[in-house]
Chain A
Amino acid sequence: MAHPTGKWAEAEIRRDDIKDLMEKTKKLATMYSELLKIKREGWENVLRAQVKKEAKEKEKQNG
């Protein structure tokens, strides 16, 4: 129920502005973390492939 205008009344004060901003920021940070995780896993795969490739080349060189 809306607060009456022009009259004092007890009110359950909220801070929806802060709540809204914080919730959106939390969601943004969470989603960005997900993106970074995917990227990290991708880079980790690349690294594994790289290491494997380098090992294979070394093996080849050693005969």
Chain B
Amino acid sequence: MAEFQALQTATAEWKPHQIAKAGDIASMAEAAGDLANVVKETLSLASAGMEVVKLLAQLQSINPLLIALDALADEVLIAIQNIKEAGFWYLYVDPYFIKNVAAEPAFTYGFEQLRNKGGDRLWLAKDLATDFSTGEYVQTTTTPTQAQLDSQEVIPHLATPRKMIAGGYNPYKGKGVADPLASMSPFPRFSVQQVIGEFTKAFDDEGDVPRYRRVGGAPKAGVVVYDKDGNSYSGWDPVKEFGLDLYDIGKDQEDGSIIKDYKAARKPINSKIAPGKPNILGDLNYVGGSGAIAIIIAAPSFDIFAETFDKFSKMFVDIPEFAATTGKGLLDSLNEVLTPANTVIKLTQCDSNYELFKAGDIMGGQIYGGLTKVLEVNADSVVVSTMTTQKEITATDDAGNILRYVTTINPNEDERWIDMEIVGKPIRSVDGLNPFITGDTVYEMEQRGTRTDGTPNYVIYGQDTVGAPPSIRKYAKTGKVSMEKLAVLPDSTPPDFGGIQIKEIIPGWGEFFQTLENFVLQLKGMISDSTAFIQDMIDMIKGIEKFLQDLIDAIVEFLEFFQITLPSTGVYALYLPNQTGGNDGIKSQLSGAGGIPDLGYAAGILFVATEGDVFIAGGGSKNPIDLLALVLGLL
């Protein structure tokens, strides 16, 4: 008797999948199957119906149509069968939409270093050129060597006052020689190699195994239980999960007769709750045939990646992660990253001595790092700041008595300080979208260089003149945040391709089949040739014709997307045909395959299928992966 252990907890990432099992594609496939079956059922009755209407001698002409229809309905059913035969495991790696892996920011924090207008970092180098040099620090844009930094012959010219920023000067990270801007992007990066790493890692997850949980009526702990082949096991505990399907001993007799077939007598005591990583009948270390198709969407810039990823998701809308009918769609999510919703920021104590913010300005929060482009200033909101304070007044009278009293004064009598409300378009910093927090001081910003994706790097206007003589000092517009709120809701991405249309049709689907059923019943009955009956029949046919037309329209729209191929730019595929090395074979081929550049923004999906016993889809393979390769255009 075998002794077995309950499974440890682990995050299951592999999922079973059957093409066209989710979302609109599944609905459409189901509708197609229903239609084909109904057509076949009604065809046999068509002749009977035509007996009555053969006044026009149409019976002869209709026969070929009936035969063709019957054959076509069969073809539809076969196509559905082919799709259903193809079962896969899939592993979806998505750092951006579902976020089942964490994209890492490509920066560390450090002190803000000044830059010139061209974006070059400013350094202070000791003047040691000649014997007469003073040894004072002189500003330069020449990047020092590590040795110069270590000896403090050159030091970074840091902003005053010191400020910690993402991608600032960090003496510990790369020792500060490399410019962080060259590798910083406002979008989280997840590279191609990281996606491939996740693909291979998933094969190693020892906890990712098939899991079974007790069902009602399961025996008590300690009872001997049996696997599907009748082997006995001890160690059963109904509160734990196990890795195989188990049965009780079953009854030995029923109605006074001895049950000879133990399979008929037994009852399952648990049911599968997680499929585990690819396996053959629960065996993870199988050495049988398995194959894989990996698809990676990758691009060097986030916007191109987002566009391709969106198209990809529409093409694979039968993957449950892409078939979500509620909430934001993929493009909405990505758009929110690309173009966040506008916000309204109320400012107070804007100093009119240094000009007020106007449309087109870039405004940034000093402490919390909020960054926004001013789209407009609400004209009605520009008012003088209400400022009151109390002041003690002392006065000495003629007798020498000192009188003290407190009076309220307005320190903004000259109307220097202004309140205003601006509408801003948030700008992503490399550490994400930072809000404007009440009390933070905001400044006008200016561009100093660009980040790796070409987006501007902003710094406080004139910060490189702090410490310079007042005559050449540049002062930034400034104010204080009193409140931030969302201006408008994010724009919703309009519904995409036919998937949305089919949803409009599906609610009527049941009604349609009810009508068809009645139609069939009436034909079967053929009990009356009254005018009312005939009119009823005509109306019913008209209803079905309309519904079919709606269905055709939906399919046409649905097909519009599938008629095109996903452009190859940014879509990389790896096809590993059926091989005999099991999961280990796939893993080693996955990690060893070349031919893909390591681009910065990537997501991917890995399909794995194991070899079955029978040839599928009438083809020459027993592995559904080869069928998938065929339909995806890889064969």
Interface residues of A (CB under 8 A from B): 2-47, 49-51, 54
Beyond A15-B315, A20-B79, A40-B545, whether A6 also contacts B559 by CB under 8 A is no
CA distance A46 to B572 in the complex (A): 62
Checking B52, B552, B559, B565 against A46 with a beta-carbon cut-off of 8 angstroms, the contacting residue is B52
> Do A3 and B635 have beta carbons less than 8 Å apart?
yes
> Do B79 and A29 have beta carbons less than 8 Å apart?
no
Beyond A21-B32, A22-B28, whether A10 also contacts B571 by CB under 8 A is yes
Q: CB within 8 Å of A: which of B17-35?
A: 19-20, 25, 28-29, 31-32, 35
> Do B50 and A42 have beta carbons less than 8 Å apart?
yes
Beyond A10-B571, A19-B562, whether A29 also contacts B633 by CB under 8 A is no
> Do B50 and A8 have beta carbons less than 8 Å apart?
no
- How many of chain B's residues have a CB under 8 angstroms from any CB in A? 84
Checking B56, B76, B572 against A10 with a beta-carbon cut-off of 8 angstroms, the contacting residue is B572
Checking A4, A17, A23, A41 against B559 with a beta-carbon cut-off of 8 angstroms, the contacting residue is A23
> Do B79 and A14 have beta carbons less than 8 Å apart?
no
Q: Select from chain A the residue with minimum beta-carbon distance to B595.
A: A8
Beyond A11-B573, A26-B552, A31-B69, whether A17 also contacts B52 by CB under 8 A is no
Q: Select from chain B the residue with minimum beta-carbon distance to A16.
A: B631
Beyond A18-B25, A22-B28, whether A46 also contacts B66 by CB under 8 A is no
Chain B residue numbers with a CB within 8 Å of A18 are 20, 25, 28, 318, 562
> Do B534 and A43 have beta carbons less than 8 Å apart?
yes
Shortest CB–CB separation between residue B523 and chain A, in angstroms?
A: 9
> Do A13 and B566 have beta carbons less than 8 Å apart?
yes
Checking A4, A36, A43 against B544 with a beta-carbon cut-off of 8 angstroms, the contacting residue is A36
Interface membership of B409, Cβ < 8 A: no
Interface membership of B221, Cβ < 8 A: no
Shortest CB–CB separation between residue B601 and chain A, in angstroms?
A: 16
CA distance A3 to B125 in the complex (A): 57
The total of Cβ contacts below 8 Å across the A-B interface reads 211
Interface membership of B225, Cβ < 8 A: no
Q: CB within 8 Å of A: which of B581-635?
A: 589, 593-596, 629-635
Beyond A12-B568, A31-B68, whether A36 also contacts B573 by CB under 8 A is no
Checking B35, B49, B82 against A17 with a beta-carbon cut-off of 8 angstroms, the contacting residue is B82
> Do B634 and A27 have beta carbons less than 8 Å apart?
no
Chain B residue numbers with a CB within 8 Å of A15 are 315-316, 562, 631-632
CA distance A39 to B65 in the complex (A): 12
> Do A47 and B531 have beta carbons less than 8 Å apart?
yes
> Do A14 and B555 have beta carbons less than 8 Å apart?
no
> Do A10 and B635 have beta carbons less than 8 Å apart?
no
Chain B residue numbers with a CB within 8 Å of A43 are 52-53, 534, 537-538, 541
> Do B545 and A13 have beta carbons less than 8 Å apart?
no
Beyond A18-B25, A50-B534, whether A29 also contacts B558 by CB under 8 A is no
Shortest CB–CB separation between residue A17 and chain B, in angstroms?
A: 4
Shortest CB–CB separation between residue A19 and chain B, in angstroms?
A: 5
Interface CB pairs A-B, < 8 A, 6: A12-B565, A18-B318, A21-B29, A28-B35, A29-B552, A47-B534
> Do B75 and A34 have beta carbons less than 8 Å apart?
no
> Do A14 and B593 have beta carbons less than 8 Å apart?
no
> Do A13 and B312 have beta carbons less than 8 Å apart?
yes
> Do B55 and A42 have beta carbons less than 8 Å apart?
yes
Chain B residue numbers with a CB within 8 Å of A34 are 65
> Do B559 and A26 have beta carbons less than 8 Å apart?
yes
Chain A residue numbers with a CB within 8 Å of B534 are 43, 46-47, 50
Shortest CB–CB separation between residue A24 and chain B, in angstroms?
A: 5
Checking B32, B545, B594, B633 against A11 with a beta-carbon cut-off of 8 angstroms, the contacting residue is B633
> Do B565 and A7 have beta carbons less than 8 Å apart?
no
Interface membership of B529, Cβ < 8 A: yes
CA distance A29 to B545 in the complex (A): 9
Q: Select from chain A the residue with minimum beta-carbon distance to B25.
A: A18
Beyond A22-B558, A22-B559, A31-B72, whether A39 also contacts B79 by CB under 8 A is no
Q: Select from chain A the residue with minimum beta-carbon distance to B631.
A: A17
Shortest CB–CB separation between residue B277 and chain A, in angstroms?
A: 21
CA distance A53 to B594 in the complex (A): 81
